[in-house]
Each structure stands twice: as structure tokens, then as C-alpha cells.
Amino acid sequence: MADTAPQPSKRKREQQEDAEAAEAPGTDERGTGVGNGTSARVHLPFSGFRVQKVLRESARDKVIFLHGKVPLGNPKDGDGEDAIVILEKTPFQVEQVAQLLTGSPELHLQFSNDIYSTYHLFPPRQLNDVKTTVVYPATEKHLQKYLRQDLRLIQETGEDYRNVTLPHLESQSLSIQWVYNILDKKAEADRIVFENPDPSDGFVLIPDLKWNQQQLDDLYLIAICHRRGIRSLRDLTPEHLPLLRNILCQGQEAIRQRYQVQGDRLRVYLHYLPSYYHLHVHFTALGFEAPGSGVERAHLLAQVIENLECDPRHYERRTLTFTLRADDPLLELLQEAQRS
């Protein structure tokens, strides 16, 4: 069993914060590298990034998604490769926040009224980091993924899945090589919190890239099963119950031992539709409103286990409700099938 302390690392792949299925970088994209994190200073995988468009921003979440061009030759050329850069302000670290107010911090007064005053405070460099996620080279699918779009609620019957959704997914040839890199210890091996190496009923537990591991309020880990060929909730049968029980019980225990967070303070669930089609389970702090934890996408693992115990064909036959982007081809295919 691996129990290696996780270290900060960049993962060259898409974030999983949206309600749509994500495409990981394809095998035909050049320059797709693997590797583990380092505390040494590094550089972005490109130079000359020119902002083309703000794909999305959120004042509440303190994050912005930028589409830019990277010149292939002459920096003055108007063309170039597409890249996406996501900038996100990191949460406060409780044990370091007092440093912001020690000594003589740089302050600019905004207003003062009786006992109330508001300032702009400029923290020191070590307390002012910005999490930066890069997708390069980016495809049109990546750009559409991060572009803010309207969502639609759709119901998918078991027949819809077999006749519409599954053939559509198989036609996309989505690459999940980055998942296999983790399972094969080719990337992020130093970030594995726990591993059950059983090839059928085992998994690895790894911090999600959205969690900086500096505080527990937004704790977020992912359990990725070793067994290949289980795409999503729809594939689950009683045959997979030992795997699911291992993920639930061993995952909770590993988090308790590593982070001193009890199982009743964790939300443990699967997404449907998932962001990538290799079975994985989300572990988040109960008080954290993680992206995709709403009722239209999240399915609690304990209830998934109980459903399979009661009905072996539950997820083969059940009608599932989820959201899709308004311009997602799958939405049109499902709506057309349901009209006929």
C-alpha cells in the first residue's frame, strides 16, 4: 500500500469542474508530457502568450479562463497555436494568515466611517500565489468546454444510453492516457495518498487538482480504480460491489489517517455524466460546495452500493437526469430520439 505524502504538482489536463463530459488531450497532440511535481522554479510550456478572449470569469470563485495564441515562429505573426490559461486565487491558509497583518503591511485606504474602514492590502509574495492551470496545445473542444454556455436538463433512459449516448461516446475517441499514466506511476506518483494495488478491486487515491492541499475546508480527492473498462455509473453491476466497498471504506480510512477528517464529514460520490470515462469517485469536504456536487449530477457512493444490492440491473435500466450544454451534440441526439 502506498502512503506517500502528496506534493504540489501541475497536471497537463483539463479541470473537472464543469457539468459536461471533458476530453483529455488526444494522442495526436504533440508535446503531451508526463511528470511529477517539483518545488523548483519552472517556466510555462510556451512563450509569447497573447490573450484572445476571456472565456469565463467568476468574481465569487476568484477565477478567470483565458484563451490565447502562442506564436509558432515570428511573434509578430497573427496566427499560432491555441492555449488556455486558468488563473485562480488560492484560499487563505489559516496558519499563515496572521502574517498578513504583522509588521507594517502595505495598505491603501478605500474609505473610513466611524468604526468602519476598508483597505486594499498588498500581501508579501509568499502569501500571494495564484494557481495557474495550462491546457496547451488546446483544441476547439477545449475552448468550448471552458466557454460559459447555457445548460439544459435532460433525462436519459437505459434505452437512450444504449442507443444514443454510448454510440456517441464511442465515436468521440476520447483519450484518457493521463489516467493510465497515474495508475502506471508514470505521472503524479509522489502525490498518491493511498493505493490498493489489486488489479480488479483496487484503486489509487490522489488529491484533485482543484485542491491546493493547504487547508481542509475545500478538501478534494479522487479515487481512480485500477480496473479498466468501467466507463461510468451505467456499467456498474453487483460484480463491482467489492471494488465500490473498498473505495468507500478504505478511501474514508485513508483520509482519516492522513488528514484527520472523519467519514461523516466527507461527501463521497460519482458523477453522471462523468468528466472522463474511467470509473472514479470524488471525496470532498462536506461543507465544501464542490463543482458538480448538485443533485443533477452527483450520486452518493453509499446509495449506489445499496441500489446495486437491491437490484443488480439498477443502473442498466434506471432513467438518469443530468445537464448538458445547449450546444452539446449529445443533447440534440437525445432530444431527437425522445421525440421519435
User: Do 21 and 276 form a contact (C-beta atoms < 8 A)?
Assistant: yes
Q: How far apart are CA 37 and CA 24, in angstroms?
A: 19
What is the pLDDT confidence band of residue 309, given thresholds at 50, 70 and 90? Answer: very high
188 is annotated as contributing to ligand binding: yes
pLDDT computed for residue 37 by the predictor: 59
Which grid coordinates are listed for 96? 499563515
Q: Give pLDDT tens digits for 284-304.
A: 999 998 888 999 999 999 999
For the chain, what's the residue count? 340
Bridge partners, residue 198, by sequence: none
Q: Give pLDDT tens digits for 241-281.
A: 999 999 999 999 999 999 999 999 999 999 999 989 999 99
What is the pLDDT confidence band of residue 32, given thresholds at 50, 70 and 90? Answer: very low
Return the DSSP state at 130: E
31 pLDDT exceeds 80?
Answer: no
What is the pLDDT confidence band of residue 61, given thresholds at 50, 70 and 90? Answer: confident
Mean pLDDT of the chain: 85
Percent of the chain with pLDDT over 70: 86
272 is annotated as contributing to ligand binding: yes
208 is annotated as contributing to ligand binding: yes
pLDDT computed for residue 2 by the predictor: 42
pLDDT computed for residue 3 by the predictor: 42
Q: Give pLDDT tens digits for 169-197.
A: 988 867 899 999 999 999 999 999 999 99
**Residue type for 6, please?**
P
Q: How far apart are CA 94 and CA 220, in angstroms?
A: 18
pLDDT computed for residue 26 by the predictor: 31
Contacts of 330 (CB under 8 A, 6+ apart): 21, 164, 165, 168, 324
What is the pLDDT confidence band of residue 38, given thresholds at 50, 70 and 90? Answer: low
279 is annotated as contributing to ligand binding: yes
Identified catalytic residue from 67, 142, 226, 280 = 280
User: What angle, rounded to 10 degrees, do the helices at 301-310 and 241-259 form?
Assistant: 160
Query: How far out from the chain centre does Cα 80 lie?
Result: 28
281 is annotated as contributing to ligand binding: yes
271 is annotated as contributing to ligand binding: yes
**Residue type for 24, please?**
A
Angle at 279 between CA 1 and CA 265, to 5 degrees: 70
Q: How far apart are CA 202 and CA 173, in angstroms?
A: 26
161 is annotated as contributing to ligand binding: no
Is 280 annotated as catalytic? Answer: yes
- Terminal C-alpha separation, the chain: 52
For range 29-44, the mean pLDDT: 58
Torsion of CA 69, 74, 75, 76, to 10 degrees: -100
Q: Using alpha carbons, select from 301, 322, 141 the residue that is nearest to residue 223.
A: 301
Q: Which residue has the higher pLDDT, 113 or 221?
A: 221
Q: Using alpha carbons, select from 85, 88, 14 the residue that is nearest to residue 46.
A: 85
pLDDT computed for residue 214 by the predictor: 83
C-alpha distances out from residue 184 to 2, 14, 220, Å: 13, 20, 22
pLDDT computed for residue 287 by the predictor: 92
For range 93-105, the mean pLDDT: 77
For range 79-86, the mean pLDDT: 90
Q: How far apart are CA 261 and CA 254, in angstroms?
A: 9
310 pLDDT exceeds 50?
Answer: yes
Q: How far apart are CA 86 and CA 52, in angstroms?
A: 14
Q: Largest alpha-carbon pair distance within the chain?
A: 71
pLDDT computed for residue 149 by the predictor: 75
Return the DSSP state at 6: P
Angle at 154 between CA 151 and CA 156, to 5 degrees: 145
Q: Which residue has the higher pLDDT, 187 or 103?
A: 187
273 is annotated as contributing to ligand binding: yes
Which grid coordinates are listed for 58? 467568476
What is the pLDDT confidence band of residue 20, given thresholds at 50, 70 and 90? Answer: very low
Does the bond joining 66 to the residue before it have cis omega, within 30 degrees of 0?
no
Contacts of 64 (CB under 8 A, 6+ apart): 54, 56, 57, 58, 86, 87, 88
226 is annotated as contributing to ligand binding: no
**Residue type for 90, please?**
T
Specify the pTM.
0.68
Other beta carbons less than 10 A from residue 147's beta carbon = 15
282 is annotated as contributing to ligand binding: yes
